[in-house]
Amino acid sequence: MANIRVCARFRPAILQDDGEVLHFARSDSRSFTLQDENDEHHTFSFDKVFYKDSEQADVYEFLASHLVRDVVKGINGTIITYGETGAGKTYTMEGANIMETENYKKGLLPRVVDELFEVISLCGEATAYKIKLSMVEIYMERVRDLLDLSKDNIQIEEHEEHGMLLCGSTEILISDGEEALKLLSSGIANRAVGESKTNKASSRSHCIYIFTVEKEVANEKRVSTGKLVLVDLTGSETTDADGRALEEAKTIKKSLSALENMIDALISGQENHISFRDSKITRILQATLGGSFQTALLCCCSPGLCHFPKTLCTLLFGARIKALSAFNEAMSSMKETTEKLVYTTAELLRENQRLKQIMREMYEEVMHVNKKMVVDCEEILHLIKKHQETPGQI
């Protein structure tokens, strides 16, 4: 089962928030309560909540740093950003600009690149590493290669050992951070964008960044592989548009609904009844949310009161993922307890068999002694009888 860390982040207020901000009370660094226009209270609790004064570095350290260190060890990880358009997903993922040089503005992607190469540089010469980068988007339910636009309908296939594979997607070997950032910048420029109510250049696709780390130790024939997948889920927007924009909105809404249905099925334990093929994003996230990946989800939220319905939907989505995480932990604990019980039961059965064997052996020994005593008694009685028949003779 997946190990999932769920966080929420509120961006600072901007002009599009119409001046009014949400009324909420912070309980601690993990919990808060929102008050809506009807004075109803909505309380949420996550692994961490980042408020408007949080720094990019704070988000990265809690959300992603441990996953980067683990992927070098061959442990798979996923980072997902979710929220409405204009809630801060792009700034969190990319920063002010993917090529940003000011450290405090850097997003998750450039920080992942920096730490990957930093961790590898600290490893000894006996270990060789290769880092490969792939980048695709899911637009109108087609998987497009953002590093090679000629590949605009990549197929997703399931592999017994490697999980979901994006067949034929471009995978480029990167030798340093600068090369990685240039590739990311090129891929980001190829993303499908459109205008929404809250963003004039809103991405209308789910974007997936895949860092594959191969590790080979000298004198060992085995190569271990770890994948770090970063997923930028596009926001589901209500729209008055028509034509292409309307079709985009419908497709996005359908894919996010499929994702929510998958999560609900995982929470309820009906994993065998999940239709992962309902959407491309559910097929890609199948291993992430239902498998062995370590996963971090960041729910990006607007503080504007006018955005409250969308903010509430985002937080409810995060709460569902949090419930899935709790379910996974409970199932993992139950599995561990069951395994211990099975082991203990097996030990008790073995001990029972051992004691039964001892009892059989003791019974046989008692029967043998008893039989010998009967023979001895009969012999004594015979001697006594003989003595009585012939007094004076022994």
Please report the pLDDT score of residue 253 as a whole number.
84
Q: Residue 3: which of 306, 340, 297 has the closest Cα?
A: 297
Q: Does 371 reside within a domain?
A: no
Please report the pLDDT score of residue 333 as a whole number.
61
Identity (one letter) of the amino acid at 380?
Answer: I
335 is in which domain, residue-wise? 3-339
Show Cβ contacts of residue 162 under 8 Å, excluding neighbours closer than 6 positions. Answer: 225
Q: Does 375 reside within a domain?
A: no
**pTM reported for the whole predicted model:** 0.79
Q: Does 43 reside within a domain?
A: yes
d(CA 120, CA 124): 9
- Give per-residue pLDDT as tens, 235-248: 766 555 567 778 88
Show Cβ contacts of residue 177 under 8 Å, excluding neighbours closer than 6 positions. Answer: 110, 113, 114, 116, 117
For residue 107, say whether it is annotated as part of any ligand binding site.
no
Q: Does 314 reside within a domain?
A: yes
For residue 254, say whether it is annotated as part of any ligand binding site.
no
Q: Does 36 reside within a domain?
A: yes
Are residues 285 and 259 in contact, defined by beta-carbon separation less than 8 angstroms? yes
SS3 call for 5: strand
Q: Does 310 reside within a domain?
A: yes
Are residues 307 and 21 in contact, defined by beta-carbon separation less than 8 angstroms? no
d(CA 83, CA 300): 5
Q: Residue 63: which of 282, 254, 300 has the closest Cα?
A: 300
For residue 124, say whether it is annotated as part of any ligand binding site.
no
Are residues 200 and 46 in contact, defined by beta-carbon separation less than 8 angstroms? no
DSSP letter, residue 52 = T
For residue 90, say whether it is annotated as part of any ligand binding site.
yes
Find the helix or strand (DSSP H, E) in which 382 lies. helix 308-389
Count of domains for the chain: 1
DSSP letter, residue 101 = -
What tokens appear for 91 in the block? 């700034």
Cα pseudo-dihedral 354, 355, 357, 363, rounded to 10: 170
Please report the pLDDT score of residue 242 as a whole number.
67
Q: Where are the beta strands (DSSP E) in 180-280?
A: 193-194, 202-203, 206-217, 223-232
Residue length, the chain? Answer: 394
Q: List the CATH number of the domain containing 43.
A: 3.40.850.10
Low pLDDT (below 50) residues in the chain: 1, 200
Q: Does 382 reside within a domain?
A: no
For residue 86, say whether it is annotated as part of any ligand binding site.
yes
Please report the pLDDT score of residue 241 as a whole number.
59
d(CA 80, CA 102): 24
- Give per-residue pLDDT as tens, 7-46: 999 998 887 777 788 888 888 889 999 988 788 899 999 9
* DSSP assignment string, 292-304: S-EEEEEEEE--B
Please report the pLDDT score of residue 183 as a whole number.
95
For residue 87, say whether it is annotated as part of any ligand binding site.
yes
- The neighbour count for residue 369, using CB atoms within 10 Å, is 10
Q: Does 360 reside within a domain?
A: no
Please report the pLDDT score of residue 171 as a whole number.
95
